[in-house]
Amino acid sequence: MLERLKQGINRSRRGFAERIRGLLGGGSAVDAATLDSIEEILLTADVGVEATDRIITELKRNRDGGEHAMRALRDHMVAILEPVARPLEIVRRHDRPYVILMVGVNGVGKTTTIAKLAKQFKEHGHRVLLAAGDTFRAAAVEQLTIWGERHGVPVVSQKHGADPASVLFDAVTAARARRLDVVIADTAGRLHTQSNLMDELRKVKRVIAKIDPDAPDEVLLVIDATTGQNALAQTREFHEAIGVTGIALTKLDGSAKGGIVLALAERFGIPIRYVGVGEGASDLMRFDAAEYVDALLATDP
Ligand SMILES: Nc1nc2c(ncn2[C@@H]2O[C@H](COP(=O)(O)OP(=O)(O)OP(=O)(O)O)[C@@H](O)[C@H]2O)c(=O)[nH]1
Ligand SMILES: [Mg+2]
């Protein structure tokens, strides 16, 4: 698992962690110029102003370089991430399913993340149902149906162009009647700036709550790690619109900006549930603060 994460996060490690090690790890005392360079590297890696400030302030406390400084850096990063490293725990109830609503901008990996989760949940013995709430994109229902068939998980869908709220109402009702454990609902990708589409999400949420006032149990925002700083704007807008309860950060394997988790953690404090490092089902991993930082700062290839 750690190996897979290390491989997946390789580009970020090469891109920024190794440069910091080059500056800090040498053994000479940490001077102002070194701190300036580190600050710049962190900002470029999308660690964000707040988290960068916090790390730099901590590094100033003790100017010893070498492994001591690397250890301090590691510990500060873990301290920033620990509060948001809260994995998703499916609560199994007999009377109503655990409902997960997947949201995010276009192409970030919502549908494929659903497929990965469906497989993982099924392997954990949960009975899963998928809801094809993306009725906007022509091939979306078919894409989810294929994933459902592949993993042996039922899919509730309506025709292209149907009201997504209606699809989700049907899905949650069906899961309830069949006493299933989990519903994972797909939604169409939408820009966080499209207010009509954000209104549509609010409606979806309202309609699900009519069946069960506590549903959805999880609003999982999917973010593409290659997006950079725009991830912060996306999170803010989705959170303001419907209340995000968890984040899945995908495509870390294609990004040198794995520092974005630190920016998200420091800015929002929303739990980071998963990180995605590839296309396979096992490439979606539960987020663990120490594991993530250790993979990022690992010296061996
Ligand atoms: N390399 C890599 N690719 C990923 C990862 N997660 C998703 N993808 C790819 O990203 C592409 C888009 O994924 P989708 O799941 O269709 O994205 P979406 O958010 O549902 O897209 P829309 O429905 O169009 O908004 C696919 O080719 C996925 O295989 C990841 O962690 N790593
Ligand atoms: Mg999709």
DSSP three-state, residue 35: helix
Name the residue with the closest Cα to ligand 1, atom 29: 279
What ligand 1 atom has the least distance to the C-alpha of 275? 31
- Which stretches does DSSP call E strand in the chain? 98-103, 128-131, 155-156, 182-185, 218-224, 246-250, 272-276, 284-286
Q: What is the pTM of this model?
A: 0.96
Ligand 1 atom with the smallest distance to the CA of 108 is 19
Q: How confident is the model over 95-145, as pLDDT tens digits?
A: 999 999 999 999 999 999 999 999 999 999 999 999 999 999 989 999 999
Please report the atom of ligand 1 found closest to the CA of residue 278.
32
pLDDT, tens digit, 9 for 90 and up, residues 210-252: 999 999 999 999 999 999 889 999 999 999 999 999 999 999 9
- Ligand 1 is surrounded, with C-beta below 6 A, by 104, 106-112, 134, 137, 140, 189, 250-251, 253-254, 276-279, 283
Separation of CA 141 and ligand 1 centre (Å) = 15
- Contact yes or no for 30/58 (Cβ under 8 A): no
209 CA distance to ligand 1 centroid (A)? 28
pLDDT at 193 over 90: no
- Supply φ then ψ for residue 177, to 5 degrees: -60, -35
Q: Which residues of 168-181 are buried (b: 16+ CB within 10 A; e: fewer)?
A: bbebbebbbeeebb
Query: Taking a C-beta distance cutoff of 8 angstroms, is the pair 91, 217 a contact?
Result: yes
Please check the confidence at residue 175 and state whether its pLDDT lies above 80: yes
Would you state the structure tokens that stand for residue 295, as one six-digit string?
């993979």
Q: Whose CA is nearest to atom 14 of ligand 1?
A: 109
Mutate to test the pocket of ligand 1, among 7, 11, 111 (most ligand atoms within 8 A of CB): 111
Report in angstroms the alpha-carbon separations of 248 from 55, 64, 163, 182.
24, 36, 25, 18
Name the closest-CA residue to atom 21, ligand 1: 107
List 249's β-bridge partners, or say none: 223, 275
Determine the atom of ligand 1 nearest the C-alpha atom of 143: 16
- Residues at Cβ < 5 Å from ligand 2 ion: 110-111
Rg for the chain, CA atoms, rounded: 21
Please give the distance, rounded to the nearest whole angstrom, from the Cα atom of residue 256 to the centre of ligand 2.
24
CA distance 264 to 183: 27
CA 14, CA 296: separation in Å to the nearest integer? 9
pLDDT per residue as tens digits for the range 262-300 = 999 999 999 999 999 999 999 999 999 999 999 999 886
Residue among 200, 250, 260 whose CB has most ligand 1 atoms within 8 A, to mutate: 250
Q: Output 178 or 14, whichever has higher pLDDT.
A: 178
Closest CA to 277 of 247, 248, 298, 252: 252
Instruction: Say whether pLDDT at 162 is over 90.
Output: yes
Tell me, in angstroms, the distance from the centre of ligand 1 to residue 250's CA.
8
